[in-house]
Amino acid sequence: MAAMPRDGVRILDFTWVVAGPVATRILGDHGAQVVKVERKDPPPMGNRKLGLQCDLHRSKLSVALNMQHPRGVELARRLAAMSDIVMDNFSARVMRTWGMDYESLVAVKPDIICISMSGLGHTGPRSSYVSYGPTLQALTGYTQLMAEPDGTPAGYGYSYADMCGGYSGALAALIALWHRRRTGRGQFVDLSQFEAVASVIGPALLDISVNGRTQSPPGYNSQEGPAAPHGVYKCRPLDGDDDRWVAISVRTGTEWRRFVVAIGSPEWASEAKFRTLYMRIQNSAELDANVSRWTAEHSAEDAMAILQRAGIAAGVVENGIDLCARDPQLKERGFWPAVSTKKGPPTHVTGIPFKLSGGSGEVRTIAPEVGEDFDYVLGELLGLGKAARDELIAEGAVWP
């Protein structure tokens, strides 16, 4: 197997739920050895061999340590001593309670890197607050900005905040490793997921900070600059599915003229009320009704292709079947790699969204069950014989 970018890096992974596991998954896919420290009965979040949990914990090892038992903590500290990074996404107080915080681990390994991906950071009046992705989305205004037409807050259906935190955590790990390579020094990384998601809220954040303006839900209006038509438009049914849509954005006069030609130069498009961008925005309801009549005659895929050929930003509003089975771009780039399972057929997981000409990462193994790598971690890594491992089990310090 060709060398991968993070070969030789070991991460002791105390993360759970989504944000932290996303960060360590990225590093594991690129060669790092990720050793998950888990409890015997974590909250039920789904099958580790299928679906989201399989996707989050692939390319990792798992050992179940009792962090309420002194010998369980001792084992964790021994693993930290042979690791490059210790990563968690608990609230700020948890690792300190176990004696696994940066100040404690520096005595075990002077160049250790500790990354704490807490909800709100380790300083400030709310640093001890517990949070999940939807909580952070509410705190940063996403829930209010995404509302139903009647103003009822809607928010995201999936935890966008967790993905922001996860990608920020992986980036922080790479920066800290590079710093250690240059200086020989480890460090503590205090990552606030609250700040990570606030930083990508978009133009609304700039408008608040610079102009002090109260924000209202934008709906389908363009936030980057004026555009019309701009939104999603219903299309012809596909295989009995009547919920087919295409997103369209037309910003300039040149784009508008190309758009009109692409849809067949209908009479309504030459009316004075649609002549300029300003007028099109002022008459957006009537404009959208006219565009919808055209899209209703086409499949979403055909509408996208027609408009893209004319240089117009347009895309199918894809559902799960589109993403997993129909999308030709994802198929061509191998975005759904198959991963072998010990029992049963292979399963598919999400791919790596970038390719390196010098050697890309890969999905190496399916997600482990809790404690599945007990013998390897305690036996091969820590050098404990069977008798010693059995004693730890009997004491309740570990779970096989």
Please give the chain's pLDDT, 400 residues, in tens.
Answer: 456 767 899 999 999 999 999 999 999 999 999 999 999 988 888 899 989 999 999 999 999 999 999 999 999 999 999 999 999 999 888 999 999 999 999 999 999 999 999 999 999 999 999 899 999 999 998 888 888 878 888 877 788 999 999 999 999 999 999 999 999 999 999 999 999 999 998 888 888 889 999 888 888 888 888 999 999 999 999 999 999 999 999 999 999 999 999 999 999 999 999 999 999 999 999 999 999 999 999 999 999 999 999 999 999 999 999 999 999 999 999 999 999 887 778 899 999 999 998 888 899 899 999 999 999 999 999 999 999 999 999 999 999 9
| Cβ 375 vs Cβ 356: under 8 Å | no
Name the residue ranges covered by the structural domains of the chain: 10-200+337-399, 230-330
- If DSSP codes are grouped into helix, strand and coil, which group holds residue 113? strand
pLDDT at position 190: 98
Residue-level pLDDT at 234: 98
Look at residue 341 in the predicted model and tell me its pLDDT: 83
Q: What confidence score (pLDDT) does residue 289 get?
A: 98
Domain 230-330: give its CATH architecture.
2-Layer Sandwich (3.30)
CATH superfamily of the 10-200+337-399 domain: Crotonobetainyl-coa:carnitine coa-transferase; domain 1 (3.40.50.10540)
- Report the 10 Å Cβ neighbour count for 184: 9
In DSSP terms, which residues pair with 36 in a beta bridge? 13, 62
Q: Which residues of 150-175 are buried (b: 16+ CB within 10 A; e: fewer)?
A: eeeeebeeebbbbbbbbbbbbebbee
